Structure 1
Amino acid sequence: MYPNNENSNPAPYTSPPEGQWSTGLYDCFEDPSNCWLTGCCPIVTFGRIAEIVDQGRTSFFTAARTYLLLGNMYSWTYRAKLRSLYSLPPEPCGDCCVHQFCICCALCQEYRELKNRGLEPTLGWTINAQKMKSGTTAPPVPPPGMTR
Protein backbone atom coordinates (compact mmCIF):
# COMPACT_ATOMS: atom_id res chain seq x y z
CA MET A 1 0.00 0.00 0.00
CA TYR A 2 1.26 3.47 -0.87
CA PRO A 3 1.46 6.12 1.83
CA ASN A 4 -1.19 8.81 1.91
CA ASN A 5 0.16 11.83 0.05
CA GLU A 6 -2.36 14.33 1.41
CA ASN A 7 0.37 15.99 3.45
CA SER A 8 3.04 16.44 0.84
CA ASN A 9 5.00 18.92 2.96
CA PRO A 10 8.37 17.44 3.87
CA ALA A 11 9.14 16.85 7.50
CA PRO A 12 11.45 19.47 9.03
CA TYR A 13 15.08 18.56 8.62
CA THR A 14 16.68 16.97 11.67
CA SER A 15 20.38 16.32 11.69
CA PRO A 16 22.13 13.39 13.37
CA PRO A 17 23.50 14.34 16.79
CA GLU A 18 26.74 16.30 16.91
CA GLY A 19 29.72 14.35 18.10
CA GLN A 20 28.94 10.96 16.57
CA TRP A 21 29.06 9.42 13.12
CA SER A 22 25.65 8.61 11.67
CA THR A 23 26.98 5.34 10.18
CA GLY A 24 29.95 3.07 10.75
CA LEU A 25 33.09 2.89 8.64
CA TYR A 26 32.13 -0.49 7.19
CA ASP A 27 28.46 0.30 6.46
CA CYS A 28 29.27 0.89 2.79
CA PHE A 29 26.29 -1.07 1.48
CA GLU A 30 23.83 1.30 3.15
CA ASP A 31 24.22 3.29 -0.08
CA PRO A 32 24.95 0.63 -2.74
CA SER A 33 25.16 3.05 -5.67
CA ASN A 34 27.76 5.21 -3.94
CA CYS A 35 29.59 2.09 -2.73
CA TRP A 36 29.86 0.83 -6.30
CA LEU A 37 30.91 4.23 -7.67
CA THR A 38 33.52 4.69 -4.95
CA GLY A 39 34.92 1.20 -5.49
CA CYS A 40 35.28 1.82 -9.23
CA CYS A 41 36.19 5.51 -9.23
CA PRO A 42 36.98 6.99 -5.80
CA ILE A 43 38.09 10.22 -7.45
CA VAL A 44 34.44 11.11 -8.15
CA THR A 45 33.28 10.51 -4.58
CA PHE A 46 36.24 12.44 -3.20
CA GLY A 47 35.63 15.40 -5.52
CA ARG A 48 32.01 15.59 -4.39
CA ILE A 49 32.94 15.41 -0.70
CA ALA A 50 35.69 18.03 -1.02
CA GLU A 51 33.45 20.53 -2.82
CA ILE A 52 30.81 20.29 -0.06
CA VAL A 53 33.23 20.27 2.88
CA ASP A 54 35.09 23.30 1.46
CA GLN A 55 31.73 25.00 0.83
CA GLY A 56 32.50 25.57 -2.83
CA ARG A 57 35.95 27.09 -2.33
CA THR A 58 37.43 23.95 -3.89
CA SER A 59 35.66 22.81 -7.02
CA PHE A 60 34.86 19.18 -7.78
CA PHE A 61 37.35 19.22 -10.65
CA THR A 62 40.17 20.79 -8.63
CA ALA A 63 39.69 18.31 -5.78
CA ALA A 64 39.45 15.35 -8.16
CA ARG A 65 42.59 16.40 -10.04
CA THR A 66 44.55 16.87 -6.83
CA TYR A 67 43.33 13.50 -5.53
CA LEU A 68 44.48 11.90 -8.78
CA LEU A 69 47.96 13.36 -8.25
CA LEU A 70 48.32 12.95 -4.48
CA GLY A 71 45.77 10.30 -3.45
CA ASN A 72 45.63 9.43 0.24
CA MET A 73 48.24 12.06 1.11
CA TYR A 74 45.57 14.65 0.27
CA SER A 75 42.24 12.94 0.89
CA TRP A 76 42.62 12.36 4.62
CA THR A 77 42.70 16.13 5.22
CA TYR A 78 39.07 16.32 4.11
CA ARG A 79 38.07 13.65 6.58
CA ALA A 80 39.65 15.83 9.25
CA LYS A 81 37.73 18.87 7.97
CA LEU A 82 34.46 16.91 7.94
CA ARG A 83 35.07 15.70 11.48
CA SER A 84 35.74 19.30 12.58
CA LEU A 85 32.50 20.54 10.99
CA TYR A 86 30.41 18.07 12.98
CA SER A 87 32.65 17.41 16.02
CA LEU A 88 33.05 13.75 15.01
CA PRO A 89 35.51 11.45 16.79
CA PRO A 90 38.54 10.03 14.97
CA GLU A 91 37.15 6.50 14.68
CA PRO A 92 38.35 3.79 14.45
CA CYS A 93 41.76 5.49 14.31
CA GLY A 94 43.34 8.68 12.99
CA ASP A 95 42.20 10.16 9.69
CA CYS A 96 45.44 9.41 7.87
CA CYS A 97 45.36 5.74 8.90
CA VAL A 98 41.71 5.34 7.93
CA HIS A 99 42.41 6.75 4.48
CA GLN A 100 45.62 4.77 4.09
CA PHE A 101 44.13 1.37 4.91
CA CYS A 102 40.40 1.75 4.12
CA ILE A 103 40.15 4.53 1.52
CA CYS A 104 36.95 3.31 -0.15
CA CYS A 105 35.21 2.65 3.17
CA ALA A 106 36.32 6.07 4.46
CA LEU A 107 35.05 7.89 1.37
CA CYS A 108 31.74 6.02 1.48
CA GLN A 109 31.30 6.88 5.17
CA GLU A 110 32.09 10.56 4.58
CA TYR A 111 29.67 10.70 1.66
CA ARG A 112 26.93 9.05 3.75
CA GLU A 113 27.62 11.47 6.60
CA LEU A 114 27.00 14.45 4.34
CA LYS A 115 23.82 12.86 2.98
CA ASN A 116 22.58 11.94 6.47
CA ARG A 117 23.08 15.54 7.52
CA GLY A 118 20.84 16.74 4.71
CA LEU A 119 23.36 17.57 2.01
CA GLU A 120 23.41 16.01 -1.46
CA PRO A 121 27.02 15.78 -2.67
CA THR A 122 26.00 14.89 -6.24
CA LEU A 123 24.40 18.33 -6.63
CA GLY A 124 27.51 20.34 -5.76
CA TRP A 125 27.90 23.20 -3.34
CA THR A 126 25.86 25.86 -5.17
CA ILE A 127 22.61 23.88 -5.20
CA ASN A 128 23.13 22.67 -1.64
CA ALA A 129 23.69 26.28 -0.52
CA GLN A 130 20.39 27.25 -2.19
CA LYS A 131 18.64 24.39 -0.38
CA MET A 132 20.11 25.61 2.92
CA LYS A 133 18.79 29.13 2.27
CA SER A 134 15.33 27.72 1.64
CA GLY A 135 15.49 25.80 4.93
CA THR A 136 15.28 22.26 3.52
CA THR A 137 18.85 21.46 4.56
CA ALA A 138 20.82 22.41 7.64
CA PRO A 139 24.15 24.10 6.89
CA PRO A 140 27.42 22.58 8.04
CA VAL A 141 28.35 24.52 11.15
CA PRO A 142 31.94 24.61 12.37
CA PRO A 143 32.54 24.11 16.08
CA PRO A 144 33.22 27.23 18.20
CA GLY A 145 36.63 28.67 17.57
CA MET A 146 37.05 27.26 14.07
CA THR A 147 37.27 29.93 11.42
CA ARG A 148 36.15 29.49 7.85
Structure 2
Amino acid sequence: MIVVRQPGVDDAAEWATGVCDCCQDMRECCRWFWCCPCSACRLSQQLGQCLCLPLLDVCGCIRPITFSMRVHVRQRYGIRGTMCRDCLCSTFCVPCVWCQMSREVTDRKLPTGLGDLISR
Protein backbone atom coordinates (compact mmCIF):
# COMPACT_ATOMS: atom_id res chain seq x y z
CA MET A 1 0.00 0.00 0.00
CA ILE A 2 1.36 3.43 -0.95
CA VAL A 3 0.86 6.20 1.61
CA VAL A 4 -0.01 9.55 0.01
CA ARG A 5 -1.61 11.23 3.03
CA GLN A 6 0.11 12.23 6.22
CA PRO A 7 -0.93 9.77 8.96
CA GLY A 8 -2.97 11.20 11.81
CA VAL A 9 -4.14 14.34 10.00
CA ASP A 10 -7.72 15.42 10.61
CA ASP A 11 -9.59 15.77 7.31
CA ALA A 12 -11.63 18.69 8.64
CA ALA A 13 -8.83 21.30 8.82
CA GLU A 14 -7.87 23.49 5.86
CA TRP A 15 -5.15 26.05 5.22
CA ALA A 16 -6.24 29.49 6.48
CA THR A 17 -5.25 30.96 3.10
CA GLY A 18 -4.43 29.54 -0.31
CA VAL A 19 -1.00 29.27 -1.90
CA CYS A 20 -1.81 32.13 -4.29
CA ASP A 21 -3.29 34.40 -1.60
CA CYS A 22 0.07 35.99 -0.87
CA CYS A 23 -0.96 39.21 -2.67
CA GLN A 24 -3.60 39.97 -0.02
CA ASP A 25 -0.83 41.56 2.04
CA MET A 26 1.49 43.29 -0.43
CA ARG A 27 4.13 44.05 2.19
CA GLU A 28 4.36 40.39 3.16
CA CYS A 29 4.24 39.33 -0.50
CA CYS A 30 7.17 41.62 -1.40
CA ARG A 31 9.19 40.40 1.58
CA TRP A 32 8.78 36.77 0.51
CA PHE A 33 9.38 37.51 -3.17
CA TRP A 34 12.57 39.58 -2.69
CA CYS A 35 13.94 38.04 0.52
CA CYS A 36 12.69 34.45 0.38
CA PRO A 37 15.92 32.77 1.60
CA CYS A 38 16.29 35.05 4.64
CA SER A 39 12.59 34.90 5.49
CA ALA A 40 12.53 31.11 5.06
CA CYS A 41 15.46 30.77 7.46
CA ARG A 42 13.63 32.92 10.01
CA LEU A 43 10.40 30.90 9.68
CA SER A 44 12.34 27.64 9.87
CA GLN A 45 13.82 28.78 13.17
CA GLN A 46 10.35 29.76 14.46
CA LEU A 47 9.17 26.22 13.68
CA GLY A 48 11.99 24.78 15.78
CA GLN A 49 14.21 23.71 12.90
CA CYS A 50 17.78 24.64 12.01
CA LEU A 51 18.13 28.28 10.97
CA CYS A 52 20.11 27.43 7.79
CA LEU A 53 18.00 24.45 6.72
CA PRO A 54 16.15 26.26 3.87
CA LEU A 55 19.47 27.18 2.24
CA LEU A 56 19.87 23.52 1.22
CA ASP A 57 17.03 23.96 -1.29
CA VAL A 58 19.35 25.88 -3.62
CA CYS A 59 21.03 22.63 -4.70
CA GLY A 60 18.32 21.31 -7.04
CA CYS A 61 15.08 21.84 -8.91
CA ILE A 62 13.07 19.76 -6.42
CA ARG A 63 12.87 21.60 -3.11
CA PRO A 64 13.10 18.88 -0.42
CA ILE A 65 13.34 21.33 2.48
CA THR A 66 10.38 23.44 1.36
CA PHE A 67 8.44 20.21 0.80
CA SER A 68 9.29 18.79 4.23
CA MET A 69 8.55 22.10 5.99
CA ARG A 70 5.14 22.28 4.29
CA VAL A 71 4.39 18.71 5.42
CA HIS A 72 5.61 19.67 8.92
CA VAL A 73 3.26 22.68 9.09
CA ARG A 74 0.34 20.58 7.81
CA GLN A 75 1.02 17.91 10.41
CA ARG A 76 1.56 20.43 13.21
CA TYR A 77 -1.80 22.12 12.62
CA GLY A 78 -3.75 19.09 11.36
CA ILE A 79 -4.31 20.53 7.89
CA ARG A 80 -5.82 18.34 5.19
CA GLY A 81 -3.71 17.69 2.10
CA THR A 82 -1.54 15.22 0.26
CA MET A 83 2.19 14.82 -0.10
CA CYS A 84 1.76 14.93 -3.87
CA ARG A 85 0.20 18.42 -3.67
CA ASP A 86 2.87 19.51 -1.20
CA CYS A 87 5.57 18.33 -3.61
CA LEU A 88 4.01 20.13 -6.58
CA CYS A 89 3.51 23.39 -4.70
CA SER A 90 7.00 23.23 -3.21
CA THR A 91 8.58 22.66 -6.60
CA PHE A 92 6.78 25.31 -8.64
CA CYS A 93 5.67 28.00 -6.14
CA VAL A 94 8.51 28.26 -3.60
CA PRO A 95 8.03 31.88 -2.37
CA CYS A 96 4.24 31.45 -2.33
CA VAL A 97 4.50 28.24 -0.27
CA TRP A 98 6.80 29.86 2.31
CA CYS A 99 4.50 32.89 2.45
CA GLN A 100 1.49 30.60 2.99
CA MET A 101 3.28 28.75 5.79
CA SER A 102 4.23 32.08 7.39
CA ARG A 103 0.61 33.28 7.29
CA GLU A 104 -0.54 29.97 8.79
CA VAL A 105 1.96 30.16 11.66
CA THR A 106 1.04 33.81 12.30
CA ASP A 107 -2.72 33.12 12.17
CA ARG A 108 -2.51 30.11 14.48
CA LYS A 109 0.08 31.44 16.90
CA LEU A 110 -1.30 31.56 20.41
CA PRO A 111 0.11 34.13 22.81
CA THR A 112 2.65 32.48 25.11
CA GLY A 113 3.20 35.32 27.54
CA LEU A 114 2.45 38.89 28.44
CA GLY A 115 4.89 40.17 25.80
CA ASP A 116 2.93 38.44 23.04
CA LEU A 117 -0.34 39.93 24.28
CA ILE A 118 1.09 43.46 24.40
CA SER A 119 2.61 43.28 20.90
CA ARG A 120 -0.73 42.34 19.31
**Structure-2-length-normalised TM-score:** 0.70
Select the residue among 85, 91, 102 that pairs with 1:94.
85
1:41 Cα deviation from its structure 2 partner: 2.3
Structure 1 or 2: larger helix share? 2
RMSD (Å) for aligned C-alpha atoms = 2.6
Work out the CA distance in 1 between the residues paired with 2:64 and 2:54: 13
Work out the CA distance in 2 between the residues paired with 1:100 and 1:52: 22
Give the equivalent residue in structure 2 for 1:132: 112
- Which consecutive residues of structure 2, in runs of 5 or more, have no partner in the other structure? 1-11
For residues 1-148 of structure 1, the aligned pairs below 5 Å read 19-53=13-47, 55=48, 57-59=49-51, 62-69=52-59, 72-90=63-81, 94-118=85-109, 132-134=112-114, 136=116
Residues 29-69 of structure 1: CA deviation (Å, up to 9, x unaligned): 2222221011112112211221122x2x422xx22433444
Q: What percent of counterpart residues are identical?
A: 24
Contact 1:31 1:112 in 2 (8 A): no
Secondary structure at 2:28 match in 1 = helix
* Alignment: residue pair count: 104
Work out the CA distance in 2 between the residues paired with 1:65 and 1:105: 16
**Structure-1-length-normalised TM-score:** 0.59
Largest Rg, 1 or 2: 1
- Which consecutive residues of structure 1, in runs of 5 or more, have no partner in the other structure? 1-17, 120-130, 138-148
What amino acid is aligned across from residue 79 of structure 1 in structure 2?
R
Greater RCO between the two (CA within 8 Å, min separation 6)? 2
Give the equivalent residue in structure 1 for 2:7: none
